[in-house]
A and B are shown apart, each in its own frame.
Chain A
Amino acid sequence: AQRVTQPEKLLSVFKGAPVELKCNYSYSGSPELFWYVQYSRQRLQLLLRHISRESIKGFTADLNKGETSFHLKKPFAQEEDSAMYYCALGYNFNKFYFGSGTKLNVKP
């Protein structure tokens, strides 16, 4: 069965510190993986997707098929990065399975 696991409910780091939000997935096919972000009082929005291999707001994520992971990383966290982050697995052309989310708190 498809599954996305985000093991950390809450991650607190100091401004300027590196941050890594973990995401592991379970899927027998070829996955499409995404990170979505929800800032306070805003709607859920796409941050990045693995197929684009892009860096958005300094964040990157690499798909590791061997470890079935898609961890989100940023070398220097900023206070404005504080938000709820969801890892999502796309499959069967029309379904997106979301993890339970990690709340990132960047302290000044």
Chain B
Amino acid sequence: GAGVSQSPRYKVAKRGQDVALRCDPISGHVSLFWYQQALGQGPEFLTYFQNEAQLDKSGLPSDRFFAERPEGSVSTLKIQRTQQEDSAVYLCASSLVLFGEKLFFGSGTQLSVL
């Protein structure tokens, strides 16, 4: 494909709703990252996958956040019972190999929780 694809581009949710954000990385990329970017801030690490294995989820802010990558390609970030503080841009990035290689970012999903 042309790059990392994220959908939806925008998501508006009522407080308490569950949302699912999708990331389609570049084909063949081993590593996949999720970041949360609040307004005026840099991206903050949420979780990391190497193929289908979630090797690091230390950045997930609460147990309402869950991510999966069952077949080692497409990943979904799920947020249960959304809160207003979850409003942010959620960025997905992938890289061909492990550490040291550059990250390719998607355009992000802008989540607004009302």
Q: Give chain B residues whose Cβ lies under 8 Å from the Cβ of A51.
A: 100
Q: How many residues of B contact A (CB 8 A)?
A: 27
Q: Which one of B18-26, B63-71, B73-81, B104-112 is at the A interface?
A: B104-112
Cα distance A97–B41 when bound, in Å?
A: 12
Q: Is A46 an interface residue (CB 8 A)?
A: yes
Q: A interface, by DSSP: helix, strand, loop or mixed?
A: strand
Q: Produce 1/0 per residue, A66-99, CB < 8 A to B.
A: 0000000000000000000010101001111111
- Report if A44-B105 is in contact (Cβ < 8 Å); known contacts: A32-B99, A90-B99, A94-B55: yes
By beta carbon, the residue of chain A nearest B3 is A43
Contact A95 B41 (CB under 8 A): no
Cα distance A101–B93 when bound, in Å?
A: 18
Q: Is B98 an interface residue (CB 8 A)?
A: yes
Contact A98 B56 (CB under 8 A): no
Q: How many residues of A contact B (CB 8 A)?
A: 23
Q: Give chain A residues whose Cβ lies under 8 Å from the Cβ of B43.
A: 44, 86, 96, 98
Choose from A4, A46, A97 the contact partner of B102 (Cβ within 8 Å): A46
Contact B56 A101 (CB under 8 A): no
Q: Give chain B residues whose Cβ lies under 8 Å from the Cβ of A94.
A: 31, 33, 48, 50, 55-56, 98-99
Residues on B lying within 8 angstroms of A by beta carbon are: 3-4, 31, 33, 35, 40-45, 48, 50, 55-56, 91, 93, 98-100, 102-108
**What are 21 A-B residue pairs whose CB atoms fall within 8 Å in the complex?**
A9-B40, A32-B99, A36-B103, A43-B3, A43-B4, A44-B93, A44-B103, A45-B105, A49-B102, A86-B42, A86-B43, A90-B99, A90-B100, A93-B98, A94-B33, A96-B33, A96-B43, A97-B45, A98-B42, A99-B42, A101-B41
